[in-house]
Structure 1
């Protein structure tokens, strides 16, 4: 890793590697794991909790005044009123992990006033470390990442994630899946969104889309993509995606073509009078809480034209430099 790594990013890397060690040790003997369920097909293990605990302890030891938003413990830890919030998924791809399918990762992001500034995604099975600081580029281990250069969706490999929770709109997803599948060279669904986003940044995928994701699934990967020259947004191509439970990403050309296909399927509420939390817009209590810290939605993009996420979109006037 570069010696010029940002101090806050360095702490995130330390926390991710500590969590990865716990995950790798547990992977050696999956039969003894205690597994619980948060809902149908939505599992949590003692490994998720132990990995999350070591991440939180590492971060708060270094930055005791920061806030924490974590998948398993929500906002129980850290400061609730800090402008700095760590967004953590200790084990993205738990179902893969439980089956010994080696596609899962640790995801840690730091947001300042709702804007992601530092990001780490660690793949413990390959010892691959994806990381980015805003304005400083994205890296895999010591290699600078750039998105792919393919220009046609018909030549592109696209990643996705299947809906799996009770209440997910399967019929809507199948229609999207069918349209994209017939427009691209291939679709893949490994099952860990944090890694999927990093694969876009690394050029392994040319694009990616998924519904039903939470902020901790995509916060780190979103910065890694933009720092690698890619675009990420909601289905209508706007920069307001982190709390909207729909995301599309890709290199600039492929992103625009995916937005054209996916825009009719958006569930983002546009009207100001519809802004208060509803069952459709805020599916759970955690989302309702974090939505208060979400960035102000960007202006709607023109039809069929993707919105490029510029540095200006990623910071508000007066933001402290990171």
Structure 2
């Protein structure tokens, strides 16, 4: 993809995101149809489904040769990332959307042959658009994002789910997480992976550690964090699998290796 094609694709991605966001805002106070998926806390609404359907139709009308990798069933059967693939989460933070009517985002990553080219995350109710084009930096609205040059582990604010501190959790040794929490300055949990990624890029938090994300949760945020100077890998420091569920550590580069080597011990299944 040449720079002109990439720029056009970026502008269309923003156009789709803004329109989808406007549709959500216009209907935010309407009664919701709420269903559960994998567990009682894994919620989906008709707004998630309608928003993904909007992206599917918009992408296919404008770019019929592109494919869509989505959460709600309106995309293609994706077994690889050959060609150009849009990886879309129509509402990231559905529980926040249902309970708070805020703190959720639209997340769109565009990949070419497995390489992240464009990332767009829209904080719908906050009105902030976070974006990145590979090699051109990351932005919040029109302001460039760049993570602080230096960061010590003792000064770190880390986003993580408190369930990883429970001994019975199936993913990670809770003792290592407990030691990490004692070492850093503080923790946060925002309930939206997309927002947690962009908060890392913005420097609001210094890292985000989680055990169970899908590609649509990651695709845009990974590009934006990388372009802001951060590092995104699995929780144990490996390259991400962009086709399947995975662990994630997105953080300032100074603390990344220390967290992986000193505090993360994943459980074997």
Same fold (TM over 0.5): yes
Other-structure match for 1:55: 55
Cα pair distance change 1:79/1:265, threshold 3 Å: closer
Q: What per-residue deviation string (whole Å, max 9, x for no partner) do you get for residues 89-132 of structure 1?
A: 00000001100252110000111111211110000111100001
What is aligned with 2:224? 224
Aligned to 1:39: 38
**Does the 8 A contact of 2:82 with 2:114 survive in 1?**
no
The secondary structure found in structure 1 opposite 2:106 is strand
1:155 corresponding residue in structure 2: 155
Structure with greater proportional strand content: 2
Q: 1:85 to 1:162 in 2, by over 3 A?
A: farther
Please tell me whether the aligned partners of residues 157 and 184 of structure 1 are also in contact (alpha carbons under 8 angstroms).
yes
Alpha carbons 1:67, 1:85 under 8 Å: kept: yes
Residue of structure 2 in register with 1:134 after alignment: 134
- The offset of 1:80, in angstroms, is 8.3
Partner of 1:106: helix, strand, or coil? strand
Matches within 5 A, 1:295-306: none
Task: Give, in whole Å, the separation in 1 of the partners of 2:219 and 2:267.
Answer: 20
| Number of the residue aligned with 2:236 | 236
- For residues 124 and 173 of structure 2, the distance between their equivalents in structure 1, rounded to whole angstroms, comes to 30
Q: Which residue of 1 aligns with 2:19?
A: 18
TM-score if structure 1 supplies the norm length? 0.74
C-alpha separation between the residues in 2 aligned to 1:49 and 1:198?
24
On the 8 A contact 1:66/1:78 being kept in 2, the answer is no
Q: 1:102 touches 1:125 (CA, 8 Å); kept in 2?
A: yes
Q: Are residues 173 and 85 of structure 1, via their aligned partners in 2, closer, same or farther at CA, if it must alter by over 3 Å?
A: farther
Post-superposition shift, 1:236? 2.6
1:105 aligns with 2:70: no
The number of equivalent residue pairs is 261
**Residue in 2 that maps onto 1:277:** none
Residue 204 of structure 1 deviates from its aligned partner by: 0.8
Structure 2: any 5+ residue segments left out of the alignment?
A: none
Q: Structure 1 pair 143/174, CA: closer, same or farther in 2 (3 Å)?
A: same
> Per-residue CA shift, 1:152-202, capped at 9, x if unaligned?
1111111124569xxx93573644541221111010001000110011111
130-139 or 68-77: bigger deviation:
68-77
> Which residues of structure 1 form unaligned runs of 5+?
268-279, 281-322
State how 1:1-12 maps to structure 2 within 5 Å: 6-12=7-13
SS in 2 for 1:264: coil
- What's the counterpart of residue 248 of structure 1? 249
